[in-house]
A and B are shown apart, each in its own frame.
Chain A
Amino acid sequence: MTVDTAWIDGRPATLEDALQAAAGLLDGSRLPFVGGLRTDVAGLRSALSLARRIGAVVDHRLSAAIYPFIVAARENGAFLAAPAEMRRRADRVVVMGDEAAEIGADVIRMLTDASPDLGIGTRGSERLFMTLGSKNAASPGSTASRHVDCASSEIVDVLGMVRAGMAGRRSGEGALGEETVATITSFLTDAGFCCIVFSPAEFGELGTEQIFGLVADLNETTRASTLPVLAAADAMGAALQATWTAGFPLRFAFGRGAGEHDAALNAGERQLSGAGEADLAILIDALDGAAPAEAKAAIPTIAITADPASAGAARIAFHVATAGRDYDGVLYEPRFGSFVAKAAQRNSELPSAAAILDALTEQLGERARDAA
């Protein structure tokens, strides 16, 4: 029994016919969109190369989850640490907001499992934790933890009060009383090295800027840094790779050759909803693990997916292998803050997303040569 690997309008097709049909759609497109981008480094490299050739708009399916971090970091700067360094250096940890404990469970476990052994002021100390949020986000295994109850939506304002107090400026009445604000302030300022773990998506662009600003203020008198945790690690990997390839962290267009960035106009949600200018989408979804269901695209799509059942009404669909599971792949790993190689766990006859994308680029080249 052979496994179907390609479909045209929902009917099984040979790989060659599907590639030709996809190339035909791309030839007739004014402005294609290359999105999804849930693939490994090789797949991303091929996707960006194809996007450049066809003058496409580029975005990752989950970039909205990382944009508050990217915008705040590039516009105001950021103190950022590696989890492995915080594990050895931080004597105080603030888990901020309601999402960090869930999204950053692995990172927080790295901090609760060890005590600081680096730094003159922090070596040998007990690591103290504070959770600031509407739920007690204390991690298992840490007894040295206290919780300050504060609605997630009020935290940015409370941090403003902390900053004002640290600088000797006044502030008005906020969600927490003066005494509680003073408790948070002293927890931060009395640290030898404080680490703030938070989810930027929970606080938005300005809220994230407030947190980075607070850490900058703390570094006037002590040491502090942050571990932003992101719900979409592969989106962060895609943003890094897009930056070293095209100069921008996703949401750019190759319509005029060189990449042009606009975070609002080129957002994938806008292009797929039909409100944008793209008239055809190539959507890549070839990673292990479930991603939130994508809204039905309002424009025709070419699906390159590890789960053909999810291809829905795609005009063309390709069944591909999963990177790091069906074949060796290089993927972004948030615990390392970088890319790591992941060995295959099983054999697969399916092609990789990179192989399909490269074949599509080659097909377009052949058509251009034939037309010339």
Chain B
Amino acid sequence: MTGLTFRKREEPAERLDLSPLTPSRLAGMAERDIAALAVGTSRMGLRVGDVFDVVMGDAATVRFEGGSHRFDRIGEAMETGEITVEGDAGVRLGRMLAGGRVGVSGSVGAHAGSAMTGGVIAIAGDAGERLGGPLAGEMMGMKGGTITVGGNVGARAGDRMRRGVIFVNGTADEDLASRMIAGTIVVGGRAAATPGRLMKRGTLFLCGGAERFAPTFVDNGPADLLILKIMASEFTRGEVGEVPFDGRPMRRLGGDTAVLGLGEVFLPL
């Protein structure tokens, strides 16, 4: 049985809050009730039926046919099921995700995976600023689960990250892993300056190197660690897939000693 499909009619003139369209919230709802769900963010009061053609199906899988950079909050607080977006998505994709899977074929806006605790987010294109990061006033960013990005990520990916894994195939913009508390980030391409600013703990693999580090990252020399081989093999077997390091020795930096200094950064030798 095919999933429940939202087919975009035309590009919306305003940002849409699509957080009500998760599998658990749509389960058992009639088509008329789904079409009446409010998704607008202006005083026009837009509803699902104003923006999408709804094709009913098993709500355990929700599909957006045609995306938009204004499709915000897709998969917010989802606990189970699957959402796929054919196209782009807006801000806060998979925010507070607890389980299930969110897949996007295009690129997404800021705060994807913000404060998520579990599940998987797979973005084929680029991700905007603060991937996995907290919203204003929140103390922690990503707290679990896995995010994979096929393209590049914007500034401050992994901000205040506490647990979980972020894999970026492309490059990372400035201040990757700022204020990181723990967790693991793997970047295939180059990281702009200055990765790890104010990070307390956590692990970065910067396989394409970095523009520069703050002087509060101390070079520990080459590290030939068994854990690198174990991690590479575990990533390959899991959601992340093949990673651009294979367990061979890497150069290790420790930092940011301005705060606690227990974070580690691995670079190619």
Binds B, one of A83-91, A95-103, A258-266, A322-330: A258-266
The contact string, 1 if C-beta is below 8 Å from chain B, for chain A 167-180, is 10111111100000
The contact string, 1 if C-beta is below 8 Å from chain B, for chain A 49-78, is 000001100000000000000010011000
Instruction: Flag if A277 contacts B15 (CB, 8 Å).
Output: yes
Instruction: Flag if A171 contacts B175 (CB, 8 Å).
Output: no
- The 10 A-B pairs at the shortest CB distance, nearest first, are namely A160-B258, A174-B215, A55-B43, A169-B257, A164-B257, A160-B216, A163-B258, A255-B42, A31-B42, A172-B215
Instruction: Flag if A172 contacts B217 (CB, 8 Å).
Output: yes
Interface of chain A residues 12 through 70 with chain B (CB within 8 A): 30-31, 54-55
- Min CB distance A299 to B, Å, is 12
- Min CB distance B131 to A, Å, is 14
Return chain A residues, CB-CB under 8 Å to B259. 163, 213
Residue in B closest to A57 when the chains form the complex, CB atoms: B42
User: What is the bound-complex CA distance between A182 and B175, given in angstroms?
Assistant: 27
User: What is the bound-complex CA distance between A167 and B259, given in angstroms?
Assistant: 9
Instruction: Flag if A160 contacts B91 (CB, 8 Å).
Output: no
User: What is the bound-complex CA distance between A209 and B197, given in angstroms?
Assistant: 11
Residue in B closest to A70 when the chains form the complex, CB atoms: B136
Return chain A residues, CB-CB under 8 Å to B13. 30, 277, 279
Instruction: Flag if B43 contacts A172 (CB, 8 Å).
Output: no
Instruction: Return the contact of A164 from the options B136, B137, B216 (Cβ within 8 A).
Output: B216
Knowing A169-B257, A213-B259 are in contact, say whether A160-B15 is a contact too (CB < 8 A). Answer: no
Interface size on A, residues (CB 8 A): 37
Residue in B closest to A166 when the chains form the complex, CB atoms: B258
B218 contacts partner chain A, Cβ-Cβ < 8 Å? yes
User: What is the bound-complex CA distance between A305 and B212, given in angstroms?
Assistant: 47
Knowing A30-B13, A163-B259 are in contact, say whether A255-B217 is a contact too (CB < 8 A). Answer: no
B157 contacts partner chain A, Cβ-Cβ < 8 Å? no
Knowing A55-B43, A171-B218 are in contact, say whether A206-B197 is a contact too (CB < 8 A). Answer: yes
16 A-B residue pairings within 8 Å (CB atoms)? A30-B14, A30-B42, A55-B42, A71-B136, A74-B136, A74-B137, A75-B136, A157-B214, A159-B258, A161-B216, A169-B216, A172-B217, A172-B218, A209-B179, A255-B43, A265-B91
User: What is the bound-complex CA distance between A53 and B99, given in angstroms?
Assistant: 39
- Min CB distance A169 to B, Å, is 4
User: What is the bound-complex CA distance between A173 and B217, given in angstroms?
Assistant: 10
B186 contacts partner chain A, Cβ-Cβ < 8 Å? no
User: What is the bound-complex CA distance between A156 and B193, given in angstroms?
Assistant: 13
Residue in B closest to A262 when the chains form the complex, CB atoms: B91
B219 contacts partner chain A, Cβ-Cβ < 8 Å? yes
Return chain A residues, CB-CB under 8 Å to B226. none
Instruction: Flag if B257 contacts A170 (CB, 8 Å).
Output: yes
Interface of B is mostly: loop
What bracket does the count of chain B residues touching chain A fall in?
20 to 34
User: What is the bound-complex CA distance between A316 and B51, given in angstroms?
Assistant: 33
Return chain B residues, CB-CB under 8 Å to A71. 136
User: What is the bound-complex CA distance between A59 and B256, given in angstroms?
Assistant: 35
Interface of chain B residues 90 through 107 with chain A (CB within 8 A): 91
Return chain B residues, CB-CB under 8 Å to A210. 198, 258
B117 contacts partner chain A, Cβ-Cβ < 8 Å? no
- Min CB distance B149 to A, Å, is 19
Instruction: Flag if B198 contacts A209 (CB, 8 Å).
Output: yes
User: What is the bound-complex CA distance between A172 and B218, given in angstroms?
Assistant: 6
User: What is the bound-complex CA distance between A167 and B262, given in angstroms?
Assistant: 13
Given contacts A75-B137, A171-B258, A263-B136, could you give 9 more A-B pairs where the C-beta distance is less than 8 Å?
Answer: A30-B44, A54-B43, A71-B136, A163-B259, A169-B261, A170-B261, A256-B40, A256-B42, A264-B110
User: What is the bound-complex CA distance between A279 and B15, given in angstroms?
Assistant: 13
Q: Which of B41, B43, B217 is packed against the most chain A CB atoms within 10 Å?
A: B43
Return chain B residues, CB-CB under 8 Å to A157. 194, 214-216
Residue in B closest to A257 when the chains form the complex, CB atoms: B43
Instruction: Return the contact of A206 from the options B15, B44, B137, B178 (Cβ within 8 A).
Output: B178
- Min CB distance B222 to A, Å, is 17
Return chain B residues, CB-CB under 8 Å to A172. 213, 215-219
B129 contacts partner chain A, Cβ-Cβ < 8 Å? yes
Return chain A residues, CB-CB under 8 Å to B43. 30-31, 54-55, 255-256
Return chain B residues, CB-CB under 8 Å to A238. none
Q: Which of B42, B129, B213 is packed against the most chain A CB atoms within 10 Å?
A: B42
A331 contacts partner chain B, Cβ-Cβ < 8 Å? no
Residue in B closest to A253 when the chains form the complex, CB atoms: B41
Instruction: Flag if A171 contacts B136 (CB, 8 Å).
Output: no
Instruction: Flag if B215 contacts A161 (CB, 8 Å).
Output: yes
- Min CB distance B108 to A, Å, is 14
Interface of chain B residues 1 through 33 with chain A (CB within 8 A): 13-15
Return chain A residues, CB-CB under 8 Å to B91. 262, 264-265
User: What is the bound-complex CA distance between A31 and B40, given in angstroms?
Assistant: 11
User: What is the bound-complex CA distance between A265 and B218, given in angstroms?
Assistant: 37
- Min CB distance A27 to B, Å, is 11
User: What is the bound-complex CA distance between A206 and B137, given in angstroms?
Assistant: 15
Knowing A54-B43, A160-B214 are in contact, say whether A171-B257 is a contact too (CB < 8 A). Answer: yes
Return chain B residues, CB-CB under 8 Å to A213. 198, 258-259
- Min CB distance B176 to A, Å, is 12
Instruction: Return the contact of A160 from the options B44, B137, B215 (Cβ within 8 A).
Output: B215
- Min CB distance A157 to B, Å, is 5
User: What is the bound-complex CA distance between A169 and B214, given in angstroms?
Assistant: 14
User: What is the bound-complex CA distance between A253 and B43, given in angstroms?
Assistant: 11
User: What is the bound-complex CA distance between A159 and B215, given in angstroms?
Assistant: 10
- Min CB distance A206 to B, Å, is 5
- Min CB distance B61 to A, Å, is 29
Return chain A residues, CB-CB under 8 Å to B42. 30-31, 55, 255-256, 277
- Min CB distance B163 to A, Å, is 19
